């Protein structure tokens, strides 16, 4: 048993290391192939024109233009493995500090959206399936299909327009009020500013889990198990409580943990729309500004999150599903 | 448990009477072409308290639907006609919904009916947690020869035979008056099948009416008070187990063919197959396999009383 788990863990560690290596290489290559000239993007054509050749050569060195990519990658990788993520070229601060700030901003958003979309999506999916073909089902299904086919950024713009511009009840962007000292920002302020982006992410996250849960639940409602439950005179509520809930929850959990990647991806666009200074926005500016160390670090941290989510789903499944938990013990 | 005198008194009262039951399905073929498929025709069965009635028929004869019809769990595209009487009063849908799971219970065919994620114990008593249910749970496990620790196990941890006994246990957990057992023995070895059938016999001996639906004639003969033979959605004969001692005391040619097919009676198979409901014609469903077939057999054949039983054949005597 212990050996079995040890092997499993070792395999996963190996897997995450391979994933990291592959992701970093691909990101690095994409960055190098990018048509964006770091000097033009960050210094500007006019400024470059008025500079001496020496100054330009210095800048080229700073932004790593013309350097041997293999050498550059290897030296980055060496430092990264030692825990040194380098200095952000744009922020002129250690990448570690930049990420710490951005991540703490984003985590609030991501966690809220993830939990909300998970719980609401699951409940709506169940509701739709229990009333399959009837009005609640049609409303929920319609909502999910409309939302799945709506681009996240467009929905963000719509909400921004509605609540920020017309109703003026929520801020139009940023994570803190404008013109307030950093020390004077309260948690309330932060939450107030996170509402719209978090709402956008939740609304889009719901449809996926709701549609999947609905499918699974319909399958359960048509099973022999539910037919027998009906023959035993169990009420709709008992049927849900004793049979439906448990059996539908397992796939929902897997899906929800696997969907961390989608929420992460969605946050890039949503943060951009709301000028919310989170990890997603930092990724965009790092990409457009050729900030190689920052972009590499953000990419790797994001993939670590996604991997972590899938890994947790894997583990949780083994803990929650008795067939895996107890079944494993017999092997 | 009821004592013997009470048992003899209630034995005579009729529990469930099914008269002229028809079940049909509405199907759509090649898109919009609708057809009605009649799967059970003119079925008549009566079950008394303390009696075990076996409905015997081969697979695909529509037996399971009978159980589903009595419990009102037929699929949405099925419709039924006929008269159902329970304890002397019409068994309306409202009444079925009130009685099913308490007075009228089903022992289903498939062990897939058990919830894979619910422990055996709670599953036996529908999740009730009171002390009486706990006691009931352990007495059932004991009665079925299952260890008490198994109430904490999940269905996947039990063997097929054990899960079958759990299904029977779900019936015992209520205080039923009528038990409908839908193929409770497939996949069991003879010794265990015997044991399972004995549980139903015991239920009947305690005054419960049992309707046993099975394809296993031999098993039914060992336990049943009456045998109803089912062929292609029709009841062709109702007989006493004693009638199966000799071919001559049986009534319908299909039952006689079944008798001849039994190992101890010559092991002769009957040529041909049971017709699929879609291909059934008006008249006797057994017509194209029968040696006594005449023109008259293509008319509707009445179900008539004959020698303390019933038969649906013009020439049986």
Q: How far is A248 from chain B (nearest CA, A)?
A: 11
Tell me whether residue A277 is in a domain. Answer: yes
Interface probe, candidates B113, B120, B153, B170, chain A, greatest A C-beta count within 10 A:
B113
Average pLDDT, chain B: 86
**Which CATH number covers residue A216?**
1.10.3720.10
Q: How far is B180 from chain A (nearest CA, A)?
A: 11
- Give the 3-state secondary structure of residue B232: coil
Chosen domain end from A29, A55, A81: A81
B309 - beta bridge partners? Answer: B306
Q: How far is B247 from chain A (nearest CA, A)?
A: 39
Q: How far is A127 from chain B (nearest CA, A)?
A: 20
Asked whether residue B10 carries a pLDDT value surpassing 80, the answer given is no
A243 secondary structure, DSSP code: I
Chosen domain end from A55, A81, A107: A81
Torsion of CA B131, B133, B135, B140, to 10 degrees: -170
Residue whose token pair is 């009635």? B53
Which DSSP string do the residues of A157-224 spell out, in sequence order? HHHIIIIIIIS--S-SS-SS-TT--GGG--HHHHHHHHHHHHHHHHHHHHHHHHHHHHHHHHHHHTSH
Of B4-13, B73-82, B283-292, B297-306, the least confident: B4-13
Whether residues A224 and B110 touch (CB distance < 8 A) is answered with: yes
Q: What is the pLDDT of residue B167?
A: 93
What are the chain A neighbours of B112 within 8 Å (beta carbons)? 223-225
Tell me whether residue A12 is in a domain. Answer: yes
Tell me whether residue A19 is in a domain. Answer: yes
Co-location of A153 and A70 in the same domain:
no
**pLDDT tens track for A137-186:** 999 999 999 988 888 888 888 888 888 778 877 777 776 666 666 666 77
Whether residues B122 and A242 touch (CB distance < 8 A) is answered with: yes
Q: What is the pLDDT of residue A327?
A: 67
Query: CB burial class (10 A; 0-12, 13-18, 19+) of residue B34?
Result: exposed
**pLDDT tens track for B188-221:** 888 888 888 999 999 999 999 999 999 889 889 9
Contacts (Cβ under 8 Å, ≥6 apart) of A291: A88, A89, A90, A91, A285
* CATH number corresponding to B4-103+174-309: 3.40.50.300
Co-location of A182 and A306 in the same domain:
yes
Which is nearest to B284 in space by CA: B236, B317, B241?
A: B236
Give me A301's structure tokens. Answer: 């941290």
- Is the pTM higher than 0.90? The answer reads no
Tell me whether residue A189 is in a domain. Answer: yes
- The percentage of chain B sitting over the pLDDT mark of 70, rounded to a whole number, equals 96
Positions of chain A with pLDDT lower than 50, given as ranges: 330-331
C-alpha distance across the termini of chain B, in Å: 42
Give me A188's structure tokens. Answer: 């309330």
Asked whether residue B12 carries a pLDDT value surpassing 70, the answer given is no
Co-location of A119 and A256 in the same domain:
yes
Asked whether the beta carbons of B281 and B268 are under 8 A apart, the reply is no
Q: Please give the Cα distance from A267 to A112 (Å, whole number).
A: 12
Whether residues B157 and A326 touch (CB distance < 8 A) is answered with: yes
Which is nearest to A328 in space by CA: B111, B149, B114, B156?
A: B156
Contacts (Cβ under 8 Å, ≥6 apart) of A196: A156, A159, A160, A163, A164, A170, A171, A274
Co-location of A111 and A178 in the same domain:
yes
Which is nearest to B298 in space by CA: B308, B290, B306?
A: B290
Chosen domain end from A50, A81, A112: A81
Asked whether the beta carbons of B99 and B40 are under 8 A apart, the reply is no
Q: Which long-range contacts (CB under 8 A, 24 or more apart) does B262-267 make?
A: B262/B217, B262/B218
Q: Please give the Cα distance from B39 to B63 (Å, whole number).
A: 9
In total, how many domains does chain A have?
Answer: 2
- pLDDT category at B8 given cuts 50, 70, 90 is very low
Asked whether the beta carbons of B77 and B51 are under 8 A apart, the reply is no
Report the DSSP pairing between strands B52-56 and B209-214: parallel
Co-location of A225 and A103 in the same domain:
yes
Co-location of A206 and A232 in the same domain:
yes
In terms of residue numbers, what domain contains A233? 99-330
What are the chain B neighbours of A224 within 8 Å (beta carbons)? 108, 110, 112-113
What are the chain A neighbours of B100 within 8 Å (beta carbons)? 230-233
Which is nearest to A147 in space by CA: A133, A134, A158?
A: A158
Strand ranges for B101-247 from DSSP E: 104-107, 178-182, 209-214, 226-231, 234-239
Co-location of A156 and A269 in the same domain:
yes
What are the chain A neighbours of B173 within 8 Å (beta carbons)? none
Torsion of CA A74, A78, A83, A86, to 10 degrees: -50
**What residue ranges do the domains of chain B occupy?**
4-103+174-309
Tell me whether residue A53 is in a domain. Answer: yes
| Greater pLDDT, A214 or B268 | A214
């Amino acid at each position: 048993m212990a050996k079995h788990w040890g092997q499993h863990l070792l395999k996963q560690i190996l897997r995450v290391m391979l994933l990291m290596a592959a992701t970093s290489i691909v990101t690095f290559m994409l960055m190098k192939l990018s048509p964006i000239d770091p000097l033009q993007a960050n210094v500007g054509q006019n400024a470059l024109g008025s500079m001496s050749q020496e100054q330009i050569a210095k800048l080229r060195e700073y932004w790593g233009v013309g350097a041997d990519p293999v050498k550059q990658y290897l030296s980055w990788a060496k430092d990264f493995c030692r825990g040194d993520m380098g200095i952000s070229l744009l922020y002129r601060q250690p990448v570690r500090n930049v990420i710490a700030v951005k991540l703490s901003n984003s985590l609030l958003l991501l966690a809220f959206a993830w939990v909300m979309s998970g719980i609401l999506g699951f409940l709506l999916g169940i509701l739709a399936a229990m009333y399959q073909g009837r009005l609640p089902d049609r409303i929920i299904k319609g909502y999910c299909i409309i939302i799945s086919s709506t681009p996240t950024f467009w929905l963000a713009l719509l909400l921004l327009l509605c609540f920020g511009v017309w109703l003026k009840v929520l801020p139009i962007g940023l994570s803190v009020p404008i013109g307030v000292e950093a020390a004077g920002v309260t948690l309330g302020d932060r939450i107030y500013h996170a509402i719209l982006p978090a709402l956008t992410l939740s609304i889009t996250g719901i449809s996926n889990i709701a549609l999947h849960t609905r499918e699974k639940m319909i399958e359960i409602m048509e099973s022999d198990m539910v037919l027998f439950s009906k023959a035993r005179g169990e009420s709709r509520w008992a049927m849900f409580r004793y049979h439906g809930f448990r059996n539908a929850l397992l796939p929902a959990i897997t899906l929800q943990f696997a969907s961390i990647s989608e929420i992460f991806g969605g946050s890039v666009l949503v943060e951009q729309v709301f000028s919310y200074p989170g990890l997603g926005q930092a990724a965009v500016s790092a990409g457009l500004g050729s900030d190689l160390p920052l972009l590499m670090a953000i990419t790797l941290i994001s993939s670590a999150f996604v991997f972590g989510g899938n890994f947790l789903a894997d583990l949780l499944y083994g803990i929650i599903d008795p067939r895996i938990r107890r079944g494993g013990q017999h092997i | 448990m009821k004592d013997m005198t009470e048992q003899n008194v209630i034995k005579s009262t009729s529990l469930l009477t099914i008269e002229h039951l028809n079940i049909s399905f509405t199907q759509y073929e090649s898109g919009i072409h609708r057809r009605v498929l009649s799967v059970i025709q003119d079925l008549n069965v009566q079950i008394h308290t303390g009696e075990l009635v076996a409905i015997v028929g081969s697979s695909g004869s529509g037996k399971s639907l009978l159980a589903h019809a009595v419990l009102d769990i037929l699929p949405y595209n099925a419709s039924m006609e006929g008269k159902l009487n329970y304890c002397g009063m019409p068994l309306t849908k409202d009444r079925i919904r009130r009685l099913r799971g308490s007075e009228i219970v089903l022992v289903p065919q498939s062990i897939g009916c058990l919830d894979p994620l619910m422990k055996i114990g709670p599953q036996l008593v529908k999740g009730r947690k009171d002390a009486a249910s706990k006691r009931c749970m352990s007495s059932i496990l004991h009665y079925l020869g299952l260890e008490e620790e198994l109430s904490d196990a999940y269905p996947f941890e039990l063997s097929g035979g054990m899960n079958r006994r759990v299904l029977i246990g779900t019936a015992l957990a209520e205080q039923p008056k009528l038990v409908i057992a839908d193929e409770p023995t497939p996949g069991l070895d003879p010794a265990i099948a015997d044991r399972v059938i004995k549980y139903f016999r015991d239920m009947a001996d305690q005054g419960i009416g049992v309707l046993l639906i099975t394809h296993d004639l031999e098993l039914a003969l060992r336990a049943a008070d009456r045998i109803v033979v089912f062929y292609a959605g029709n009841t062709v004969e109702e007989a006493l187990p004693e009638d199966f001692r000799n071919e001559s005391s049986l009534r319908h040619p299909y039952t006689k063919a079944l008798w001849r097919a039994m190992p101890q009676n010559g092991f002769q198979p009957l040529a041909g197959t049971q017709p699929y409901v879609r291909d059934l014609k008006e008249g006797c469903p057994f017509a194209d396999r029968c040696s006594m077939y005449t023109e008259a057999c293509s008319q509707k054949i009445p179900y008539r009383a004959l020698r303390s039983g019933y038969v649906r054949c013009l020439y049986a005597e």
